[in-house]
Amino acid sequence: MKIEQTKIEGLLIIHPQVFGDDRGWFMESFNHQRFAQALEELNLPVPTFVQDNHSLSQKGVLRGLHFQKTPYAQGKLVRVVQGRVWDVAVDIRPESKTYGEWVGVELSAENKTMFWIPEGFAHGFIALEDNTQFLYKTTNYYNKESEGAILWNDPTLAIDWPLNQVDKVLVSEKDQLASTWKSLNI
C-alpha cells in the first residue's frame, strides 16, 4: 500500500498493492493492521470502522457535499468497485489552517485508488460513468439529526467539478437545498 498525503493534513490518497497476471488480479481492499501502521507513521489517529455503505449511481449523479456534526461525525474510507467518480473532500474544521479548502481525486474500478477522509470534512462525488458502484467504510453510524450538507456548486468553495465529462448533473432535491458555505452552521 502506498500512501499519498494531500495539501490538507489527514486527508490521504491510498494506492493498494495489486497483484495481477493473465488470470486477473488480487488486492487487499482493507487491512486494519497495515492501515493503522501507515496512519501511526504519519502521527494520525487510527479509526475504528463501524459501518459499510454501498451506492449505485448513473453518469452525472452528484451526491454531496455531506457531513455529520459532532458527536456523530464520520471518517470515511472510500473507493469505487465499478465505474468512475470525481471525489471531493472539503475541510470543515473551523480551527484548521486549511478550513474551506478542498481536495479532489478520481477514483475508479480501474485505478483502485482509495481516499481516506477523516472526521471534520464534507464529502461528495460525481459519477463519471453509468452504473458506478461506490463503497465506503465509516467510523460512526448514520445519524439523521446530525446530518448536514453544503451546496455542491457554492462559488465560495469554487470546486473544480469535471462537468465537461457529463451531459447533465443530477442532484437530489435535498442536496439542491443544501447550505451555502457562508451560512454553514457546524
Q: Which residues are catalytic?
A: 66, 136
Radius of gyration of the chain (CA): 16
Rounded Cα distance between 166 and 59, Å, is: 7
Rounded Cα distance between 101 and 181, Å, is: 11
Rounded Cα distance between 146 and 29, Å, is: 29
Rounded Cα distance between 152 and 180, Å, is: 9
Longest dimension (CA), the chain: 54
Residue 91's alpha-carbon distances to 126, 131, 154, 161, in angstroms, are 18, 29, 14, 17
Tell whether the torsion through CA atoms of 40, 41, 42 and 43 is positive or negative: positive
Q: Which residues contact 95 (CB under 8 A, 6 or more apart)?
A: none
- Whether 168 contacts 128, CB under 8 Å: no
